[in-house]
Amino acid sequence: AQSVTQPDIHITVSEGASLELRCNYSYGATPYLFWYVQSPGQGLQLLLKYFSGDTLVQGIKGFEAEFKRSQSSFNLRKPSVHWSDAAEYFCAVGDKRYSTLTFGKGTMLLVSP
Amino acid sequence: GAVVSQHPSWVICKSGTSVKIECRSLDFQATTMFWYRQFPKQSLMLMATSNEGSKATYEQGVEKDKFLINHASLTLSTLTVTSAHPEDSSFYICSASDVGGNTGELFFGEGSRLTVL
């Protein structure tokens, strides 16, 4: 069975500082990997996804993520965080394009002035 | 991009009543929709997969008689929480895949927050 681990429940970053959110997955074959962001009381918005090809994936809002098969990781990064980035971030894995997703427990990002 | 809309966004009901939540794909046809439940400060847990024109597939531990799912058209799936109790209070989110668009992306609704008094 596939699983996703987001080891950090909360992260606080100063505005303008760089950000890295960790995600590790467990899956036998090549996974389909996603990062979603959720603002309070809102649905999920897709930031980026990895299916195949270039292991460094660019997403919306200046986010990027790197797929590292050897480490079973798909960490999300942003070089300079803005206050509006404060939200909860979910990493997810699927076994095919249109399948259901298994989500991690999420990482709450707090941005300090 | 494709849009999935849920209604209502908020609903408060009395214990014992039934509540219906709608999930619509606004600009694409979705043969499959997914219903998730999210407890406070928790991740999303898949409840069921809704297939147009057929019975939904429920995840283990989800009571199909309590959470009725109907996917009567290619753009609408409904989740009915029957005889709701306070422990059913949660944030319910649906998603749908734009298979025709071949993006492989699941589009999520805005979620529906149910509070059972």
| Chain centroid to CA B6 | 8
Cα A41 from Cα B39, distance rounded (Å): 12
The partner residue sitting opposite B111, judged by closest CB among A43, A46, A98, is A43
pLDDT of residue A94: 85
Q: What is the mean pLDDT of chain A?
A: 91
Is 60 exceeded by the pLDDT of residue B81?
A: yes
Model pLDDT for residues B9-59, shown as the tens digit of each residue: 999 999 999 999 999 999 888 888 999 999 877 888 999 998 888 889 999
pLDDT band at A40 (very low <50, low <70, confident <90, very high): confident
User: Given the DSSP bridges, would you call strands A64-68 and A56-58 parallel, antiparallel or unpaired?
Assistant: antiparallel
Task: Report yes or no: B109 at the A interface, CB cutoff 8 Å.
Answer: yes
Tell if the CB–CB gap between B42 and A51 is shorter than 8 Å: no
pLDDT of residue A58: 96
Is 80 exceeded by the pLDDT of residue B77?
A: yes
Please tell me the distance in Å from A77's CA to the nearest CA on chain B: 21
- Mean local confidence (pLDDT), B3-9: 92
pLDDT of residue B54: 85
Is 80 exceeded by the pLDDT of residue A16?
A: yes
User: Given the DSSP bridges, would you call strands B10-13 and B112-116 parallel, antiparallel or unpaired?
Assistant: parallel
Please tell me the distance in Å from B18's CA to the nearest CA on chain A: 22
**A94 to A101, B59, B106: CA distances (angstroms):** 5, 16, 11
Percentage of residues of chain A with pLDDT beyond 90: 71
Query: Which residues of chain B are within 8 Å of residue A51 when distances are taken between CB atoms?
Result: 104
Task: Fill in the DSSP letter of residue B74.
Answer: T
